[in-house]
Amino acid sequence: MAKADHLHHDLVEGKVDWKGRTAVKKTHGGMKTSLLILGAFGFENLATVSLAVNLVTYFNGVMHFEIADAANEVTNYLGTSYILSILVAVLADTYIGIFKAVLISGTVELLGLALLAIQAHYPKAWHCRNQSCSASHGADQFDDKDPQEARHMSNFFNYLLLALCFGGSISLTFGVWIQDNKGWDWGFGFGAIAMFLGLITFASGLLKYRLHPVKKKQVS
């Protein structure tokens, strides 16, 4: 009886593993598992932040847009990326779950960066940024009813900001330097490689993640 109570205490209410079984506290989630999500966040920012500050140069110098038109294209790009984030969040909550949503949106982002690298290398031969709901997935790795894990959740979001800043700072320095000195094909290629590493890092935690079960909503 005591063993059964102990086992029940180790189960995480409202979270499942990748096979749909109730998540076990000592096996799934926690701070170590959340480090994979932090790494994916860092790589994603490493891949894309430089585009927000340097893409006007690309549109003007390579695509031959006027400065005003180039700036307008960048705002369209940023606006579209945030709108897509909302759509992906809705899909994650109602149909496919956060893990699949991150993988799909990350793959689309990777393909966009790869196509940009090809287009920049072969100018006569076509981007996408979708910062999806990885932060919510990170929070799912902790049980807020457990005082120790609640403290770890708070630490996770502190480390999340650190990962964003770290990836962004490298992107804004080394990434921009590559774009300006080695060419935009190398710059976009650098972003695609970083995005690929982020996807691999994120996907490698599948067996350890606590997943929030999807409750599909009936649309009337």
The verdict on residue 220 lying in a domain is: no
The verdict on residue 123 lying in a domain is: yes
pLDDT value for 197: 92
Q: How many domains does the chain have?
A: 1
The verdict on residue 164 lying in a domain is: yes
pLDDT value for 136: 78
pLDDT value for 121: 75
pLDDT value for 77: 82
The verdict on residue 5 lying in a domain is: no
Domain range for 175 is 34-203
Q: pLDDT tens digits, residue range 26-77?
A: 888 888 888 998 888 889 888 888 887 788 888 887 778 888 888 888 888 8
The verdict on residue 114 lying in a domain is: yes
The verdict on residue 12 lying in a domain is: no
pLDDT value for 130: 46
136's tokens: 């919510």
- Contact 131/44 with Cβ under 8 angstroms? yes
Model-level pTM? 0.75
The verdict on residue 76 lying in a domain is: yes
pLDDT value for 177: 92
3-state secondary structure the chain: CHHHHHHHHHEEEEEECCCCCEEECCCCCCHHHHHHHHHHHHHHHHHHHHHHHHHHHHHHHCCCCCHHHHHHHHHHHHHHHHHHHHHHHHHHHHHHCHHHHHHHHHHHHHHHHHHHHHHHHCCCCCCCCCCCCHHHHHHCCCCCCCHHHHHHHHHHHHHHHHHHHHHHHHHHHHHHHHHHHCCHHHHHHHHHHHHHHHHHHHHCCCCCCCECCCCCCCCC
The DSSP bridge partners found for residue 211 are 16
The verdict on residue 219 lying in a domain is: no
Give me the residues of the chain with pLDDT under 70, please.
1-9, 123-134, 215-220
pLDDT value for 216: 60
CATH code of the domain in which 97 resides:
1.20.1250.20
